[in-house]
Structure 1
Amino acid sequence: MKFQTETGVLEGAPERLIVAGWTGRDRAAVDHHIEELAAIGVPAPSGVPLYYQCAPALLTQETQIQALGEETSGEAEPFLLKQDGRIWLGLASDHTDRALEAHSVAASKQICAKPVADVLWPFEAVSPHLDDLVLKSWIEEAGSWVPYQDGKLASILPLEQLMQGAPLTDGTAMLCGTLPAIGGVRPAPDFRMSLSDPVRGQSIDWSYRTATLRIIS
């Protein structure tokens, strides 16, 4: 994978991928969401937050992915990468199979590719004002782009706390959780996302399309 940074191109292939889940900072809201999902058959997590283990080969910078069936969807998330002793912040989508989620959240995450934007910021450059960073996404519906997620990283557990729960060794990447979907979680073939830094006046933007593979049984 290749990333643009403020000092040049960073190349690397992560050797470990962690997908953090249940990372909302409002614990009461997280517990309520767990109860809602349990009511429709989604198993409750064994811990909060939870650090799912996924294959690093799922990370991709392709602008089109393939997914099995029509019940998968993306969600924008902060992306952390530790390489050569340094931590970087970027943007990724935890594309997930929502039908499989009812049987196993871990399996639902492992089955889908994880699109990653090609820009990284030095973590130390944004760490003093992480809560001010704005995470957004849009989906295409009926030919128009519709807001899907919109909020600050203040809604997610501090990234330093997540790194304490799952220490990043060299070659480790982590997706750090997400924001609620406006209008509810739903599939869409086209997904756009951004992470913007109002303090430094910079943003990371990425988009991708999902091609659906027909389920044969």
Structure 2
Amino acid sequence: MQMTFTLAGTEVSFDIAHCTVAGWTGRDAAAIQHHIDELAEIGVKPPSSVPLYYRTASGMVTQQDAIEVVGKGTSGEIEPFLIANDGVLYLGLASDHTDRELEAHSVALSKQICEKPVASEIWRFDEVKDHIEQIEMRSWVQEKDGDDWVLYQEGTIASIRPLIDLIDGSGLMSTSDKGKASVMLCGTLGAKGGVRPARRFKMALHDPVLDRTIEHAYDIKELPEIA
């Protein structure tokens, strides 16, 4: 699947052939348990190991400003987004939008069923690797049309396992060759007020050292759930 991103003001294209969603990637054991408990409240079973790497269809990655979902039980979550292409790494921003009702049955299936919105801008990983853990992550939700934006998630990449460890554990680099790119969503932060659906989702990745920000927002359009 061909996708085009903006890199330092220039358009670059990738032929994305592999997509992985890394789960349960919190560095702090207490924070991981908080997220496990948070999801347990909506019926999600605990993971078999930590972290886990879920394969999803590469075609689920989208830069559109709206996604369509079935029913009212889905929600987004901000995540660092890595692209590996011909031995080069890039950092971007994504939302692991997930069907929470299906997640109670199968986390793997819940990851597969919803599109994964990503921002159209990326940075070279080499430019940020020395201060990667200072990079800030924030998301906001608009729960109903006309509501104010509410801060939903906030933290830094330091809250997540070192990205290099996730790259090694997932085999991200080994699946990107012969002109094909691999991408990975790298885990998230706990939600303020608990995991919940929203009408709109907005997210930002801010680099305080180089003073730049990647942003993306999208609408969630609910399709009727027909029995």
Give the structure-2-normalised TM-score: 0.91
Equivalent in the alignment of 2:134: 132
Structure 2 residue 222 is the aligned partner of structure 1 residue 212: yes
Equivalent in the alignment of 1:155: 159
Equivalent of 1:112, from 86, 92, 114? 114
What are the equivalent positions in structure 2 for 1:87-126 lying under 5 Å apart? 87-126=89-128
Equivalent in the alignment of 2:187: 177
Equivalent in the alignment of 2:26: 24
Equivalent in the alignment of 2:168: 164
Deviation string 1:111-168 (CA, Å, 9 cap, x unpaired) is 0000010001000100000110000000113511110011111111110010110121
Instruction: Determine if contact 2:121/2:214 at 8 Å carries over to the other structure.
Output: yes
Aligned-residue offset at 1:28: 3.2
Runs of 4 or more off by more than 4 Å in structure 1?
35-40
Provide the aligned length of Structure 1 versus Structure 2: 217
Secondary structure in structure 1 of the residue aligned to 2:50: coil
Q: How large is the RMSD of aligned CA atoms in angstroms? A: 1.4
Give the distance between the partners of 1:16 and 1:128, measured in 2 at CA. 27
Instruction: Determine if contact 2:34/2:190 at 8 Å carries over to the other structure.
Output: no
One-letter amino acid matched to 1:193? M
Give the distance between the partners of 2:32 and 2:184, measured in 1 at CA. 20
Give the distance between the partners of 1:41 and 1:140, measured in 2 at CA. 24
Query: How high is the sequence identity, in percent, across the aligned residues?
Result: 52
Give the distance between the partners of 1:46 and 1:71, measured in 2 at CA. 24
Give the structure-1-normalised TM-score: 0.95
Secondary structure in structure 1 of the residue aligned to 2:198: coil
- Runs of 5+ consecutive residues of structure 2 not aligned to the other structure: none
Secondary structure in structure 2 of the residue aligned to 1:144: coil
Give the distance between the partners of 1:189 and 1:62, measured in 2 at CA. 15
Secondary structure in structure 1 of the residue aligned to 2:101: helix
Give the distance between the partners of 2:53 and 2:71, measured in 1 at CA. 26
Give the distance between the partners of 2:112 and 2:220, measured in 1 at CA. 16
Deviation string 1:36-86 (CA, Å, 9 cap, x unpaired) is 645754222121000011000000011111001001010110000011221
